[in-house]
Amino acid sequence: MAYTEDELKKELETKEYEYGFYTDIDSETFPVGLNEDIVKAISKKKNEPKWMTDWRLDAFKTWKTMKEPEWSNLKYNKPNFQDISYYSAPKKKPDLNSLDEVDPELLKTFDKLGISLDEQKKLSGVAMDVVVDSVSVATTFKDTLEEKGIIFCSISDAIQNHPELVRKHLGTVIPKKDNYYAALNSAVFSDGSFCYIPKGVRCPMELSTYFRINQAGTGQFERTLVIADESSYVSYLEGCTAPSRDENQLHAAVVELIAHDDAEIKYSTVQNWFPGDKNGKGGVFNFVTKRGICHNRSKISWTQVETGSAVTWKYPSCILKGNNSIGEFYSIAVTNNFQQADTGTKMIHLGKNTKSTIISKGVSAGKSQNSYRGLVQVSPFAENARNFSQCDSLLMGNDCGAHTFPYIEVQNKTAQIEHEASTSKIGEDQIFYCNQRGIDTEKAIALIVNGFSKEVLNKLPMEFAVEAQKLLEISLEGSVG
């Protein structure tokens, strides 16, 4: 008898999250709980200047007065914030000059992830910063970049070595009080990446950060700050994985992008945090605030492939402050089993002749719920603002949901706003057609989903596009409906 869908499902249910291993690295982890002393201790641990400590304490004070947002289309048990350890670092936090000094266990971790740091070093044109749990452990290609005046390092190092740059920009796009998770992050962020591209410099390689939560019971709160000075260009990638665990882990990151006049920032994410098992147990809560500000004639482009996490709450946004600035958002969000995603973007048009493009592709399978939520706002001064939005949903089976919540607020009558949306299902006739051409069902789904996501995949840098395609396949295994 032909291989049935049920058999396929059964076979695939036994396949597990590929990155679910835990690495036994000697770590130093703070006791659980959050209070002023913990915030101070984190700051002290990192040997931070007083202004930074005060900044954190101010954020913490604000956070205590705030409430966790409830407006999203997500259902989950709120994390107990006193039950999390806010700092965990591989003990051998080395002052690395070369990758040879990295903890061998850690190198093994990266081998398992399919990232050979060694190869990174030698072959590819990707400079990488690696953050495990809370601490940045390795940054590659530092010297090559320094020649061009590019600063690419962990945010902790930046606070030490480039305090003026950090102090000037940190929290300017996403204020401490912006929202509940951003305030929490501002108080307790432990590490993350910092990047500065000087005037007129085109960054010669992709910059990349790899995040991983390793320790149990820890939250990850990384902070990323990318500053592109006038007429500069940078393409930045981030990737994320975590071990499989029964309890939910919290990830609340903040990413701020600043594109000065005539600068361009491309920011790409492949998010593959542990999504929970097939019964919806465990998985990462991914509550992330990402926002960029565009000055005159500058451009910020967000591209994200979201396949992981049990719950995703994330709206990478652009404030188009400068005249003739451009904001773009390209997203594929895949949910399977019991995953939930509420993701989208905000395009805030303030300057004249500002343009934004939103392409959102949601793929839902299993019993998952996938929502697009987006805001296009045109201020009274934004003459000739233009937006094009397209939100497409692809459904597999009868137990999942796709939702679209577009908000459009226009206060200037010269604005041109277009919104297109579609919902489709993978048809059995499509599958049979592929089968008849010798393409099995799993591969057929991958082909159809890749086709559906093509406009977004095309926006990813080459190195990531291949990984992203594979991820889509893995995430949807066993989802035939």
Q: How far is the CB of 265 from other proteins (least distance, A)?
A: 27
Q: What gap in Å lies between CA 474 and CA 480, rounded to an integer?
A: 13
Q: Which is nearer to other proteins, 57 or 447 (by Cβ)?
A: 447
What is the nearest approach in angstroms of other proteins to the Cβ of residue 237? 23
- Beta-sheet strands, E only, within 232-385: 233-241, 248-251, 254-259, 264-271, 283-294, 299-306, 311-314, 317-320, 326-335, 340-349, 355-364, 369-378
**DSSP per residue over 402-448, as a string?**
EEEEEEEEE--TT-EEEEEEEEEE--HHHHHHHHHTT--HHHHHHHH
Tabulate helix, strand, coil % of the chain (nearest 5): 25, 35, 40
Q: How far is the CB of 331 from other proteins (least distance, A)?
A: 15
| CB of residue 5 to other proteins, shortest distance in Å | 9
Closer Cβ to other proteins, 51 or 433, answer by number: 433
CB of 452 to other proteins, least distance (A): 6
Least distance (Å) from other proteins to the CB of residue 424?
A: 8
Q: What would the x/- binding string for other proteins be over residues 436 to 465, using CB under 8 A?
A: xxxxxx-x---xx-xxxxxx----------
What is the distance between the alpha carbons of residues 144 and 81, in angstroms, rounded to a whole number? Answer: 41
357 binds other proteins (CB under 8 A): no
| Closest to other proteins by CB, 304 or 441 | 441
Interacting span for other proteins (CB under 8 A) from 2-10, 42-50, 272-280, 350-358: 2-10
Residue 32: DSSP 8-state: B
Nearer to other proteins, 58 or 455 (CB): 455
**Strand order, beta sheet including 126-132:** 135-139, 126-132, 206-212, 233-241, 264-271, 299-306, 326-335, 355-364, 386-395, 416-425
Angle, CA of 344, 350 and 351, to the nearest 5°:
120
Which of 2, 14, 31, 70 forms a contact with other proteins (CB under 8 A)?
2
Binding part of the chain for other proteins, among 28-36, 235-243, 249-257, 428-436 by CB under 8 A, reads: 428-436
Of 236 and 452, nearer to other proteins (C-beta) is 452
Closest approach, Cβ 359 to other proteins, in A, equals 12
Please, which residue, 132 or 448, has the CB nearer to other proteins?
A: 448
Which residues on neighbouring strands pair with residue 376, listed in sequence order? 347, 408
The answer to the question of residue 427 lying near other proteins (CB under 8 A) is yes
Question: Considering the complex, what minimum distance in angstroms separates the CB of residue 475 from other proteins?
Answer: 17
Q: Of these, 29, 296, 357, 430, which contacts other proteins (CB under 8 A)?
A: 430
Comparison of 443 and 470: residue with beta carbon closer to other proteins: 443
CA separation for the pair 28, 41 (Å, rounded): 13
CB of 6 to other proteins, least distance (A): 11
Q: Output Rg (C-alpha) for the chain, integer angstroms.
A: 22
The one segment of 38-46, 218-226, 282-290, 425-433 that binds other proteins by CB under 8 A: 425-433
State how far the Cα of 4 lies from the Cα of 227, in Å rounded to an integer: 52
* Residue 401 near residue 370 (C-beta atoms within 8 A): yes
Q: In this complex, which beta carbon is closest to other proteins, that of residue 31 or of residue 438?
A: 438
Q: List the alpha helices (DSSP H) in 69-220.
A: 104-112, 117-122, 142-147, 155-161, 163-169, 180-188
How many residues bind other proteins, per CB under 8 A?
26
CA distance 124 to 116: 10
Shortest reach from residue 4's CB to other proteins, in Å: 7
Provide CB contacts within 8 A for 138, sequence distance 6+: 96, 99, 102, 117, 128, 129, 130
Between 250 and 332, CB nearer to other proteins = 332
Residue 345 CB, nearest approach to other proteins (Å): 21
Nearer to other proteins by Cβ, of 381 and 432: the residue is 432
Q: Which of 73, 160, 357, 435 contacts other proteins by CB under 8 A? A: 435
Cα distances from 372 to residues 11, 68, 190, 308, in angstroms, run 31, 20, 30, 16
> In the complex with other proteins, which residue's Cβ is closer, 251 or 361?
361
Each residue 3-32 as x (binds other proteins by CB under 8 A) or -, in order, gives xx----------------------------
Residues that bind other proteins (CB under 8 A): 1-4, 427, 429-430, 432-441, 443, 447-448, 450-455
